[in-house]
Amino acid sequence: MDDTEARERILAAAAELYYRKGYATVGMAELRAAAGVSLRRLYLLFPSKSDIVKAVLARRHEEWTTALTARLSAAGPSARERLLAVYSHLEDWFRTDNFRGCAFINAFGELGGVDPEIATIVRAHKASFQQYMADLVAGIGAPAPLAAQLSILAEGAQSTAAISGDPAAARQAQDAAEVLIDASIGAASPAR
């Protein structure tokens, strides 16, 4: 097995274990066994656990962005449809058997207070999502503050669904989003 394959196996095992069991609970020995690599090779490729967590989060960011972009592209031509598709995307994710909440929120909760680099990565991911929403909000001609409101609905739905185990949080967030979007578009329209 070359370094590329070993790295891939380590990251795949780490992503699954961290998401299922938590970042702090999974030790290097458990990760080594799950990846099927030697401890020496693991440390050669990733000198610290923090390096692995950062790589896993970078991968998760790319996966999230790619999946969300694909879903929204298929949602329809209107910016409003794409905005609401964010919540349909969340609902589908919440219905998966292995849903355990947002990997970034989980990482921040476990490691954000002790690892400033992890906190920075999480903040960057969340800022990226807010910018994504801001671009969609601009596309419907609504006031800019709507993006933060819709983002908070999405974030809250993730936490609520993870804690309650109920994917209905996505539908409830979408219903609230529709009210906010319609009110914002109405407020942005000139009076007749």
Judge if 77 and 142 occupy the same domain. Answer: yes
Judge if 37 and 113 occupy the same domain. Answer: no
Judge if 35 and 67 occupy the same domain. Answer: no
Judge if 16 and 90 occupy the same domain. Answer: no
pLDDT tens digits, 70-124: 999 998 888 899 999 999 999 999 999 999 999 999 999 999 889 999 999 999 9
Judge if 10 and 98 occupy the same domain. Answer: no
Q: DSSP secondary structure string, 42-76?
A: HHHH-SSHHHHHHHHHHHHHHHHHHHHHHHHHTS-
Instruction: Report residue 43 CA to chain centroid gap.
Output: 27
Which of 66, 64, 63, 87 lies closest to 75, judged by CA? Answer: 87
**Contact yes or no for 89/73 (Cβ under 8 A):** no
pLDDT tens digits, 30-85: 999 999 999 999 999 999 999 999 999 999 999 999 999 999 999 888 889 999 99
Q: Can you tell me the distance from the alpha carbon of 56 to that of 96, in angstroms, rounded to the nearest whole number?
A: 20
Which of 49, 48, 44, 36 lies closest to 10, judged by CA? Answer: 36
Judge if 34 and 83 occupy the same domain. Answer: no
Judge if 26 and 77 occupy the same domain. Answer: no
Judge if 90 and 11 occupy the same domain. Answer: no
Q: Can you tell me the distance from the alpha carbon of 189 to that of 166, in angstroms, rounded to the nearest whole number?
A: 37
pLDDT tens digits, 146-186: 999 999 999 999 999 999 999 999 999 999 999 999 999 87
- What's the domain range around 7? 1-47
Domain harbouring 76, CATH code:
1.10.357.10
Judge if 33 and 62 occupy the same domain. Answer: no
Instruction: Check: pTM over 0.85? Answer yes or no.
Output: yes
CB atoms within 10 A of CB 185: 15
Judge if 127 and 164 occupy the same domain. Answer: yes
Number of folded domains in the chain? Answer: 2
Judge if 40 and 88 occupy the same domain. Answer: no
